[in-house]
Amino acid sequence: MKIYADENMPYVQHFFAEFGEVQLFPGRELTAEQLIDADVLLVRSITQVNSSLLAQAKQLRFVGTATIGTDHIDQSYLAARNIAFSNAPGCNARAVVEYIISCLWCLAERYQWQLSEKTIGIVGVGNIGRRLAEVLSALGVKLLLCDPLRAEHEPDFPHCPLQQLFEQADVLSFHVPQTVEGPFATHHLINPHSLTQLKPDCALINACRGPVFDNQALLAEAQAGHQRPLVLDVWEHEPDILLPLLPFVDIATAHIAGHSIEGKARGTEMLYQQLCQLLARPAQHRIESFCPAAAVSAVEIQSNFGLPDVQNLFKLVYDVRRDDALLRHHIKTQGFDWLRKNYPPRRECSTVRVIGDQVPDWLYDIGFSRP
The residues carrying an active-site annotation are 209, 238, 255
User: What does the H/E/C string look like for the chain?
Assistant: CEEEEECCCCCHHHHHHHHCEEEEECCCCCCHHHHCCCCEEEECCCCCECHHHHCCCCCCCEEEECCCCCCCECHHHHHHCCCEEECCCCCCHHHHHHHHHHHHHHHHHHHCCCHHHCEEEEECCCHHHHHHHHHHHHCCCEEEEECHHHHHHCCCCCECCHHHHHHHCCEEEECCCCCCCCCCCCCCCECHHHHHHCCCCCEEEECCCHHHECHHHHHHHHHCCCCCCEEECCCCCCCCCCHHHHHHCCEECCCCCCCCHHHHHHHHHHHHHHHHHHCCCCCCCCHHHCCCCCCCCEEECCCCCCHHHHHHHHHHHCCCHHHHHHHHHHCCCCCHHHHHHCCCCCCCHHHCEEECCCCCHHHHHCCCECC
